[in-house]
Amino acid sequence: MTPNFPHHAIVLISAVIIGLLSAPVKTFGEERECPVPERFYEFEPPLTKTAKALAAGREVVIAALGGASTVGLAAGGPNLGWPARMSSVLAGKFPSARIKVVNLAVARQTAKAAVERFSRDVFPLKPTLVIWETGTMEAVRGTDVDEFRETVQAGLNELHTAKTEVVLMNMQFSRETDAMIQFGPYLIAMRELADANDVPLFRRHGIMRYWAENDFLDLRTREAEKRRQLATKLYDCIGHAMADFVARGVTAAKAATSPGSDR
């Protein structure tokens, strides 16, 4: 746009970008059916408070907020939802720690309704970490994006005041709905929120798209039983991925606070 921006610089930047994006992807959990590329985890801020609580041997309460996909409805119930799956994976990763995962999700809950529940349902648990899955209802209903952003920001402020660590989780990806419901603006809003508040964002939409794109998980079926199985597998994959995500956040925090590091 500006004439003084050298042309070769644009070419160079584009080349670097394309190079970065098309570089062979290192993935996480290679051995599983649903690996997650490194790019979804890289550069996310560390989970300092959770790491401290774990190091001190305190009980770590992780509260999961969200909608039907966090409840685990499509698989049959909360014991098959991703929070429960994450819980068992985390128990394996941190065998000596006391980690308690509480699933507070309610189907069709808006961000606003979730924030209103904070003081009643969330804070009494004294959670170390809140994983907040949100955005779906707003996208489906066409809520004003600015209002959604304000709501989530207010929620993040409250959690910050309560000294609770937060991980945001965005929407699910599905081939059927992507052309009908515009997730784009809400996905961007959540990325901006995560960025501005220095809060980690678990990019479920991108990860699920990656799985669909690479045939790890094709979630299309019309049979009820098969659908239940697929949902179970999906939530298991998300649970694993989220456990990896949390573990990485904890490791990064340890690295940052350990002596000799000036970060």
Partner 1 sequence: MSITSSPSVMERDLRIDFFRGLALFCIFIDHLPNNFVADFTLQSVMFSDAAEVFILISGLTAGMVYGRAMERQGFVIAGVRVYHRVWQLYVAHVFLFMMFIAMVATTVGALNSSLYAEEFGAANFLDEPGVAVAKALTLQFQPAFMHILPLYIVLLAVLPFVMAGFRSWPRVILFASFVLWLAVQLDKRIALSVYPGPDGVWPFNPFAWQALFFLGVWLGWRGTRGEVSWLRRRWLFCVAAVLALAGFVIRFNWTLHDFYDPIPVLVSGRPLWLFLSKTDLGLLRFANVLAVALLVARLIHPQAPFLASRVARPFVICGRNSLHIFCLGILLSVLGHLVLNEFFGGIPMQFAVSAAGVAIMISVAALMEWFAAAQGTPRGGALGAPTAGRGARG
Q: Which residues contact 261 (CB under 8 A, 6 or more apart)?
A: 255
Ranges within 197-256 binding partner 1 (CB under 8 A): 197, 206, 209, 212-213, 219-222, 224, 227, 230-231, 234
Of 51-59, 92-100, 159-167, 187-195, which part binds partner 1 (CB under 8 A)?
187-195
Spell out, one character per residue from 23 to 62, where the chain touches partner 1: x when CB under 8 A holds, - when not: -------------------xx-------------------
115 with 132: CB under 8 angstroms? no
**146 touching partner 1, by CB under 8 A:** yes
Note whether 136 binds partner 1 by CB under 8 A.
yes
* Chain mean position to CA 165: 13
109: helix, coil or strand?
coil
Counting residues that bind partner 1 (by CB under 8 A) gives 59
Instruction: For partner 1, give the closer residue by CB, 54 or 112.
Output: 112
Complex with partner 1: residue 59 or 144, whichever CB lies closer: 144
Cβ closest to partner 1, residue 61 vs residue 112: 112
Buried b (16+ CB within 10 A) or exposed e, 186-222: bbebbeebbeebebbbbbbbbbbbbbbeeebeebeee
Among 116, 121, 158, 192, binds partner 1 (CB under 8 A): 192
Exactly one of 53, 101, 172, 253 binds partner 1 (CB under 8 A); which one?
172
Window of 30-38, 83-91, 160-168, 172-180 that interacts with partner 1 by CB under 8 A: 172-180
**How many CA atoms does the CB half-sphere of 107 hold within 13 Å?**
8
For residue 177, state whether it binds partner 1 (rule: CB under 8 A). Answer: yes
Which region, judged by CB under 8 A, interacts with partner 1, from 18-26, 55-63, 241-249, 251-259? Answer: 18-26
Touching partner 1, residues 115-134 (CB under 8 A):
none
Residues 6 or more apart whose CB falls under 8 angstroms from that of 139 comprise: 171, 181, 182, 183, 186
Provide the CB-side half-sphere exposure for 56 (13 A, CA).
10
Q: Is 80 in the site for partner 1 (CB under 8 A)?
A: no
Q: Which residue has the tokens 């550069």?
A: 43
DSSP 99: E
Of 1, 9, 23, 56, the one binding partner 1 by CB under 8 A:
1
Q: Are 29 and 240 in contact (CB under 8 A)?
A: yes
Between the CA of residue 4 and those of 8, 14, 146, 226, what are the distances in Å? 11, 17, 35, 59
Binding site for partner 1 (CB under 8 A): 1-2, 13, 17-18, 20-22, 42-43, 67-69, 73-74, 107-108, 136-137, 140-147, 149, 172, 174-185, 191-192, 195-197, 206, 209, 212-213, 219-222, 224, 227, 230-231, 234
